[in-house]
């Protein structure tokens, strides 16, 4: 099973770190980071895992 990735919109404050690190998975919508449509199964991507570690507000969630 692939690891799921999501962003908690209540925690994200739009720093842009995730979009910078993994632009194929994350994008900006209304100045906040979101997971691109169809990319929610990208949690095993090392760039996504690094983005989750480096998100300054711990808004990126990885779940099995």
Q: Which residues of this protein are in contact with ligand SF4, per CB under 6 A?
A: 7, 12-18, 33, 55-57, 59-60
Nearer to ligand SF4, 49 or 59 (CB): 59
**Residue listed under structure tokens 């990735």:** 5
- DSSP annotation of 58 reads -
The CB-of-20 to ligand SF4 minimum distance in angstroms stands at 8
The CB-of-2 to ligand SF4 minimum distance in angstroms stands at 20
* Alpha helix (H) residue ranges in the chain: 17-21, 46-54
The CB-of-13 to ligand SF4 minimum distance in angstroms stands at 5
The CA angle 8-9-11, to the nearest 5 degrees, is 70
């Amino acid at each position: 099973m692939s690891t799921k990735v999501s962003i908690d919109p209540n925690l994200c404050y739009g720093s842009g770190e995730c979009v910078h690190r993994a632009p194929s998975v994350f994008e900006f919508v209304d100045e906040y980071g979101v997971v691109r449509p169809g990319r929610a199964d990208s949690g095993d991507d090392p760039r996504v895992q690094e983005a989750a570690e480096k998100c300054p507000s711990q808004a990126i969630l990885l779940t099995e």
